[in-house]
Chain A
Amino acid sequence: MSTILAVLVDGVIYASWLFIIAAGLTLIYGVMRILNMAHGSLYALGAYVAASLAGAWLRAGWAPMGSYAMLVLAALVVALVVGPLIERGLLRFCYGRDEVVLVLVTYALFLIIEDVIKLGWGVESYFIYEPYGLLGNVEIGALSYPLYSAVLVGAAVLVGVGLRFGIYGTRFGKLLVAVIHDREVSAAMGINVNRVYLVTFTLGTFLAAVGGALTAPTVSVVPGMGVETIVLAFAVVVIGGLGSMQGAALGALIVGLVRSAAVHFFPQVELFSIYLVMALVLAVRPRGLFVAAEARKI
Chain B
Amino acid sequence: MTSFRRTTLGLGIALLALGLAAPILPKWALFLVTIAIAKGLVALGLLLLMRTGLVSFGQGLYFAAGAYAAGVGSQALHIGDAVPMVLLGGLVAAAVAAVLGLLLARYRAIFFAMLSLAFSMILYGLLVKTSELGSTDGFNVAARTVFGFPIASGLGRYGVYALAALCAFGAAVGLDRYLGSYLGRLAPAVRDNELRVEYMGASVRNVVHLNLVIAAAMAGVGGALTALAVGHIDPEMAYWTTSGEFVFVAILSGTTSVAAPFAGALLLELLRSFAYEHAPNTWQLVMGSAMLAVILFLPEGLWSIFRRRRRAAT
List residues of A whose CB falls within 8 A of some B CB. Answer: 35, 90, 93-94, 98-101, 103-105, 107-112, 114-116, 118-119, 123, 227, 231, 234-235, 238, 242, 268-273, 275-276, 278-279, 282-283, 286-287, 296-298
Closest to A110 in B: B288
In the bound complex, CA of A93 to CA of B293 (Å): 12
Closest to B50 in A: A100
In the bound complex, CA of A282 to CA of B103 (Å): 9
Contact A275 B283 (CB under 8 A): no
Contact B196 A298 (CB under 8 A): yes
Contact B124 A271 (CB under 8 A): yes
* Residue in B103, B121, B129, B195 whose CB lies within 8 Å of A298: B195
Contact B281 A118 (CB under 8 A): yes
- Please, which residues of chain B bring their CB within 8 A of the CB of A103? 55, 110, 113
- Please, which residues of chain B bring their CB within 8 A of the CB of A278? 114-115, 118
In the bound complex, CA of A296 to CA of B195 (Å): 8
- The CB with the most chain A CB atoms within 10 A, among B106, B113, B119, B287, is that of B113
Contact A271 B125 (CB under 8 A): yes
The 10 closest A-B pairs by CB, nearest first: A272-B125, A111-B288, A271-B125, A115-B285, A112-B288, A108-B291, A111-B284, A275-B118, A108-B288, A272-B122
- Please, which residues of chain A bring their CB within 8 A of the CB of B124? 271-272
* Residue in A90, A115, A231, A269 whose CB lies within 8 Å of B292: A90
Contact A271 B129 (CB under 8 A): yes
* Residue in B118, B251, B291 whose CB lies within 8 Å of A235: B118
A115-B284, A231-B121, A275-B122 known; A99 vs B295 contact (CB < 8 Å): no
Closest chain-B Cβ to A42's Cβ sits at a distance in Å of 14
- Please, which residues of chain B bring their CB within 8 A of the CB of A98? 109
**Besides A109-B288, A271-B125, 6 other A-B contacts (C-beta < 8 A):** A99-B110, A103-B55, A103-B110, A104-B291, A238-B111, A271-B129
121-160 of chain B: CB within 8 A of chain A:
121-126, 128-129
- Please, which residues of chain B bring their CB within 8 A of the CB of A269? 125, 129
User: Interface size bucket, B side?
Assistant: 35 or more
12 example contacts (A-B, Cβ-Cβ < 8 A) are as follows A35-B114, A90-B292, A101-B295, A109-B292, A115-B288, A123-B281, A238-B111, A238-B118, A279-B103, A279-B122, A286-B106, A296-B195
Closest to B196 in A: A298
Contact B111 A107 (CB under 8 A): no
Contact B110 A275 (CB under 8 A): no
Contact A286 B107 (CB under 8 A): yes
* Partner-binding segment picked from B33-41, B87-95, B217-225, B240-248: B240-248
Check B181 for interface membership: any CB of A closer than 8 A.
no
Contact A100 B113 (CB under 8 A): yes
Closest chain-A Cβ to B214's Cβ sits at a distance in Å of 20
- The CB with the most chain B CB atoms within 10 A, among A115, A234, A278, is that of A115
Q: Per DSSP, are chain B's interface residues mostly helix, strand or loop, or mixed?
A: helix
Closest chain-A Cβ to B240's Cβ sits at a distance in Å of 6
Contact A108 B125 (CB under 8 A): no
Contact B283 A271 (CB under 8 A): no
In the bound complex, CA of A217 to CA of B117 (Å): 30
Contact A115 B122 (CB under 8 A): no
Contact A282 B107 (CB under 8 A): yes
In the bound complex, CA of A116 to CA of B295 (Å): 21
Closest chain-A Cβ to B242's Cβ sits at a distance in Å of 11
Closest chain-B Cβ to A124's Cβ sits at a distance in Å of 12
Contact A107 B118 (CB under 8 A): no
Contact A107 B196 (CB under 8 A): no
Check B296 for interface membership: any CB of A closer than 8 A.
yes
268-299 of chain B: CB within 8 A of chain A:
281-285, 287-289, 291-292, 295-296
Closest chain-A Cβ to B138's Cβ sits at a distance in Å of 16
Contact B121 A287 (CB under 8 A): no
Closest chain-A Cβ to B310's Cβ sits at a distance in Å of 26
Check B193 for interface membership: any CB of A closer than 8 A.
yes
Contact B281 A119 (CB under 8 A): yes
- The CB with the most chain A CB atoms within 10 A, among B124, B128, B251, B292, is that of B292
Contact A276 B291 (CB under 8 A): no
In the bound complex, CA of A77 to CA of B195 (Å): 47
Closest to A118 in B: B281
A99-B109, A115-B281, A115-B285 known; A108 vs B118 contact (CB < 8 Å): no
- Please, which residues of chain B bring their CB within 8 A of the CB of A100? 55, 109-110, 113
Contact A111 B122 (CB under 8 A): no
Closest chain-A Cβ to B97's Cβ sits at a distance in Å of 15
- Please, which residues of chain A bring their CB within 8 A of the CB of B292? 90, 105, 108-109, 112
- Please, which residues of chain A bring their CB within 8 A of the CB of B109? 98-100
* Residue in A94, A105, A111, A287 whose CB lies within 8 Å of B287: A111
- Please, which residues of chain A bring their CB within 8 A of the CB of B283? 115
In the bound complex, CA of A271 to CA of B238 (Å): 13
In the bound complex, CA of A269 to CA of B124 (Å): 11
Closest to B106 in A: A286
In the bound complex, CA of A112 to CA of B297 (Å): 18
Contact A272 B196 (CB under 8 A): no
- Please, which residues of chain B bring their CB within 8 A of the CB of A279? 103, 115, 118-119, 122
- Please, which residues of chain A bring their CB within 8 A of the CB of B129? 268-269, 271
- Please, which residues of chain B bring their CB within 8 A of the CB of A99? 109-110
Closest to B118 in A: A275
